[in-house]
Amino acid sequence: MRPDDWHLTEDLNSFLARAGDFLHSRPDLHTVPLTVTEALRTRGADAYGAEAPVFGRLERAGEVRAAFFRTPPRRLYLTPLTSEEADALAARLAGLGALLPGVSADHDTATAFAAAWRRRTGATPTLHERERLYRLGTLTSPQPAPEGRGRVAGEQDRERLMLWYREFVAAIGGSASADAGSWADTRIASGRVTFWEAPDGTPVSMAGMTPMVAGQIRVAPVYTPAHLRGRGYAGAATVEVSRTALAAGAAQVLLFADLANPTSNSLYQRIGYRPVTDFAVYDF
């Protein structure tokens, strides 16, 4: 295949007109492109920063076979590719002089692209993280369940949400998708963060969820302050927000877990989440 089989654009509407059906064809594997493009569509091209996002699709014989997006300065994000397709994309981007900080995709795709990028540019890929994508089967409350109850975060929780969002981003070594204030405001307005609170009404853990796109909702983020961990609060919050997602009509409820954290992976499986596939994140 040729590198110019990859078609690039900064026009989101044009990209979705060609690649939208492809993204909707596998809502689980394409959960991140679906939610990111929906955020860009509803909140504007600057939703993730001042620099224009870039989109690409692999099209052959009039059919879209794969896609990517990038919201600078973040990593390139790919849908599943063969090694040949990954190499053609690396050649296309290298030929354009693209500077990439890394790549995120299913494990085989990310590994293939990282190797191709090294061949094409001399960059040295470093494995940053391995994740597992889970899909909810039968939701099961954790046993023994911690005392307390679930509650949707409201306006009175804004300062706590901002603090916990900053702490979550720092804990995972990530980059914020928005400033803490706008992150909190958006989720309060749409009721997309659930607290688990202790019997005295003090929030002790939070679990968020993405808007529903193509029938899927992804649980994210899940966060418990360090001094409150190990008490079952995260599991309880995740069950509550998963129940909310199901009540909203989601056909698939998804989440990612860091494979370096066996505790969270075990927890999610105990409450009904089942593995879909593994993902990898490389830095260049």
1 confidence band (pLDDT: 50, 70, 90): confident
Nearest to 261 by CA among 103, 126, 129: 129
Give the whole-angstrom CA distance, residue 240 versus residue 141: 9
* pLDDT tens string 185-233: 999 999 999 999 999 999 999 999 999 999 999 999 999 999 999 999 9
CB atoms within 10 A of CB 89: 29
**pLDDT of 268:** 97
What is the gyration radius of the CA atoms in the chain, in angstroms? 19
Give the residue among 268, 238, 245 at the shortest CA–CA distance from 31. Answer: 245
- Of all residues in the chain, what percent carry a pLDDT higher than 70? 100
Predicted pLDDT of residue 180: 94
Q: What are the C-alpha distances in Å from 108 to residues 76, 134, 220, 257?
A: 15, 17, 24, 17
Hey, which bits of 126-192 come out as E strands? 126-136, 149-152
Q: Is the pLDDT of residue 265 over 90?
A: yes
* Average pLDDT value for residue range 103-118: 98
Measured distance CA(180)–CA(22) in Å, rounded: 33
pLDDT at 178: 76
Question: Residue 95: what pLDDT?
Answer: 96
Distance of alpha carbon 218 from alpha carbon 266, whole angstroms? 18
What mean pLDDT is reported for the chain? 96
Cα torsion for 170, 172, 173, 178, to the nearest 10°? Answer: -60
Residue 246: closest CA among 277, 272, 278, 276: 272
List pLDDT tens digits, range 111-164. 999 999 999 999 999 999 999 999 999 999 988 889 999 999 999 999 999 999
Query: Residue 283's pLDDT is what?
Result: 98
Closest CA to 77 of 118, 49, 37: 37
Residue 220 is predicted with a pLDDT of 97
Mean of pLDDT values over 266-273: 97
Q: Is 10 helix (H, G, I), strand (E, B) or coil?
A: coil
- With beta carbons less than 8 A apart as the criterion, state whether 280 and 105 touch: yes
Share of the chain above pLDDT 90, in %: 94
Mean pLDDT lowest among 141-155, 174-188, 236-250:
174-188
Residue 10 pLDDT more than 80? yes
Question: What is the pLDDT averaged over residues 168-176?
Answer: 85
User: Does position 108 have pLDDT exceeding 80, yes or no?
Assistant: yes
* Residue 177 in this model has a pLDDT that exceeds 80: no
Residue 223, CA distances (Å) to 63, 64, 194 in order: 40, 37, 11
pLDDT for the residue 176 = 73
Q: What is the rounded distance in angstroms from the CA atom of residue 180 to the CA atom of residue 170?
A: 12
Inter-helix orientation angle 12-25/31-43, to 10°: 150
Residue 2 has pLDDT above 90, yes or no: no
Average pLDDT for residues 71-76, to the nearest whole number? 96
